[in-house]
Amino acid sequence: IKTTKVLCPQELEKAGLLNKTKIAEGGRKLRKNWSLSWVVLVGNSLVFFKDPKSQTPSSWKPGNSRPESSVDLRGAQLNWANELSSKKNVFKLRTVTGNEFLLQSETESLIREWFNTIQSVIDRLDRE
Ligand code: I3S
């Protein structure tokens, strides 16, 4: 699992591979469907891309970097959520619109870094 931390004018804060599942949409519970996702924290958003390795050769086009989805972190809530999964190192991200995601990594130090970095963005937006 690779992770990078870069600071640049586009405000790219962090990028790496995490396990992800959406568990609610607009407050309505969804069935879990875990998958490995390339997660990018940039500006006020958390952006999800499909894991390039899970794509078939035919679906992979150079420069095809269209995000799968994107989450606005303004007003979002972050909580550790080990009770919501049999997996370890899980946290829950809830958006103001009632979308809920679980994010997970086998590596505790890595998931802590993600938690702290996302929380610092949420805190910064709260102060604006
Ligand atoms: O919280 P749940 O419903 O026990 O979550 C598990 C299920 O979603 C399961 O899928 P199916 O019920 O569709 O077979 C997933 O395969 C598991 O990964 C989910 O649990 P964990 O504990 O991995 O979040």
CA pair distance 125, 29, nearest whole angstrom: 27
Between 128 and 92, residue with greater pLDDT: 92
Retrieve residue 118's tokens: 């996302």
Average pLDDT over residues 97-125: 97
Q: Is the Cβ atom of 32 under 6 angstroms away from ligand 1?
A: yes
**Model confidence pTM above 0.90:** no
For residue 32, how far is its CA from the centre of ligand 1 (angstroms)? 6
- Look at residue 11 in the predicted model and tell me its pLDDT: 74
Q: Which residues contact 72 (CB under 8 A, 6 or more apart)?
A: 44, 45, 95, 96
Q: What is the complex's ipTM, to 2 decimals?
A: 0.89
